[in-house]
């Protein structure tokens, strides 16, 4: 099993480009000669589907979805992640991935395989996104491939 994590980490690292060097020197600035868009990669691995999204951070509370990928997991989440990242490779020259997050039932595997920075349960992901788009939301119903959930939000 040695090297399992390198299956996708290289492809994700290619998307991240200068992330390590700019973070290492404490800079949050993209090299102006490259004029890359600052973005984040989200990976949601479920029993039925694997979804990836590249989101541009415009300002503190403003985002723009640059590209999404929907794939069937087909019982092979590692292959689904690899295919998804390959579909995102067209963004490599214009986007600088500043961070990678994973969620879903395969979130821990996805973190290991993609070298993610953060892992959140789908409950936390649904609650955060729902509150962002509908601030006064109280109830979320989530119908997944493995289970269904009702999430009740309180202040």
Q: How far is CA 65 from CA 53, 58, 75, 77, 151, in A?
A: 7, 10, 27, 23, 25
DSSP 102: E
**3-class secondary structure, 25:** coil
Tens digits of per-residue pLDDT, 122-152? 999 999 999 989 999 999 998 888 889 999 9
Residue with tokens 């200068």: 18
Tokens found for residue 85: 């990242």
Tokens found for residue 18: 């200068």
Structural element, H or E, at residue 26: none
Mean pLDDT of the chain: 83
pLDDT of residue 71: 97
Tens digits of per-residue pLDDT, 1-16? 233 344 456 667 666 6
Q: How far is residue 100's CA from residue 65's CA, in Å, rounded to a whole number?
A: 15
Tens digits of per-residue pLDDT, 56-65? 988 777 889 9
Query: Is 80 in contact with 73 (CB distance < 8 Å)?
Result: yes
Residue 155 has pLDDT above 50, yes or no: yes
Concatenated DSSP letters for 28-52?
-PPPTTT-PEEEEEEEEE-SSEEEE
pLDDT of residue 105: 93
Query: Is 120 in contact with 134 (CB distance < 8 Å)?
Result: no
**Position 112 confidence tier, pLDDT thresholds 50, 70, 90:** very high
Structural domains of the chain, with CATH:
6-120 (3.30.420.40), 121-155 (no CATH)
């Amino acid at each position: 099993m040695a090297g399992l994590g390198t299956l996708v980490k290289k492809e994700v690292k290619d998307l991240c480009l200068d992330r390590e060097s700019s973070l290492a020197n404490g800079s949050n600035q993209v090299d102006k000669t490259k004029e890359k868009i600052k973005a984040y990669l989200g990976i949601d691995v479920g029993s039925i589907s694997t979804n990836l999204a590249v989101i541009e951070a415009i300002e503190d509370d403003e985002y723009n979805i640059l590209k999404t990928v929907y794939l069937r997991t087909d019982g092979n989440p590692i292959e689904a992640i690899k295919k998804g990242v390959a579909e995102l490779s067209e963004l490599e020259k214009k986007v600088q991935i500043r961070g990678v997050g994973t969620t879903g039932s395969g979130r821990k595997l996805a973190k290991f395989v993609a070298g993610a920075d953060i892992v959140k349960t789908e409950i936390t992901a649904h609650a955060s996104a729902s509150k962002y788009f509908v601030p006064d939301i109280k109830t979320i119903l989530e119908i997944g491939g493995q289970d269904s959930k009702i999430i009740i939000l309180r202040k």
